[in-house]
Structures are given as C-alpha cells and as structure tokens.
Amino acid sequence: MTGWLLLMATGLLATIAVALWRIARGPERADRMMSAQLIGTGGIAIILLLAVAGEDWAMLDVAIVLALLAAVSIIAFAKSVRRVGTGDPEDDDHHD
C-alpha cells in the first residue's frame, strides 16, 4: 500500500513537471498563474497521499494551509491584472 501511494505521488510530481513547462512557455500571464494553480492542487494531492503513506495525519494541516494561501495569492494575482494594482478585474468602467 505504501509503495503504491508513493508511486501515485511520484506520478503527480510528473504532472507537476508538465505544468512547469507551461509557466515557462506562457504566453499570457493568466497561463502562468493557472499552471501555478495546477501545481498547487497537485501538491496538495501529494500531501494527502504522503499523509496516508507515512501515517502522519498532522500533514493534512499543511495541505489546508497551502489551499488557503493559494487562494490569497489568486487575489493578489487578480489585483495585478490592472496597472493600478488596487482595483477589481471585473470592473470595466475604470480603465487605466
């Protein structure tokens, strides 16, 4: 079982490596940020597998923290879309 879980975790690492290629490639900033998000989700899945494999359930807290802070960095990214950096990407009335 442990071997299987680690095998799955290694497979997830490989998918992360693929997403890294898209960060490098772009072309849009949205592509790069999206790939970072896939890496985040994949990393969280790896942590869940490692928690079972190592029977160390405190690792789940690391997964929660990562999921929370990934959400915060998405807000920071959404802010960075406009040059001003403090607005709302949905706000079409205030072009800058």
Partner 1 sequence: MIDGLTILLTALGLGFFAVGSLGLVRFPDTASRLHALTKADNLGLGLVALGVALQAPGVVEVIKLVLVWALALFSAGVAAQLIGRVAARRP
Partner 2 sequence: MSLAFNTLLSLIIVAVAAAAILGRQAFMAVVFFIAYGLLIALAWLRLEATNVALAEAAIGAGLTGILLLVAWTRLRALEAPAPSPPHRLLQVLAGAGAGAVTLGLLAAISQLPAVPGLQRDVAEHLPVTGTDNPVTAVLLNFRTWDTLLETLVLLAALVGAWTLTRDEDWPGRAGRRHRVLPDGVLAQFGRVLPPVALVVGAYLVWVGGYQPGGAFQGGTVLAAAWIVAVMTGHLPAPRVDDRWMRMAVLIGPTFFLLVGLAGLVVGAFLYIPPGFAKPVLMAIEATLAVAIAATLAMLVFGAPEQGESS
> What is the pattern of x (binds partner 2, CB under 8 A) and - over residues 50-79?
x---x-x-xx-xx-xxx-xxxxxx-xxxxx
Q: Which tokens hold the place of 62? A: 């690391």
Q: Which long-range contacts (CB under 8 A, 24 or more apart) does 38-46 make?
A: 40/66, 40/67, 40/70, 42/12, 42/13, 42/15, 42/16, 43/16, 45/12, 46/9, 46/12, 46/13
Contacts of 94 (CB under 8 A, 6+ apart): 87
Distance of alpha carbon 32 from alpha carbon 34, whole angstroms: 5
Under rule CB under 8 A, residue 26 binds partner 2? yes
The residues binding partner 2 (CB under 8 A) are: 3, 6-7, 9-10, 13-14, 16-17, 20, 23-24, 26, 29, 32-33, 35-36, 39-40, 43, 46-47, 50, 54, 56, 58-59, 61-62, 64-66, 68-73, 75-80, 83-91, 94
The residues binding partner 1 (CB under 8 A) are: 1, 4-5, 8, 11-12, 15-16, 18-19, 21-22, 28-31, 33-35, 37-38, 40-42, 44-45, 48-49, 51-52, 57, 60-61, 63-64, 67-68, 70-71, 74, 77-78, 81, 89-90
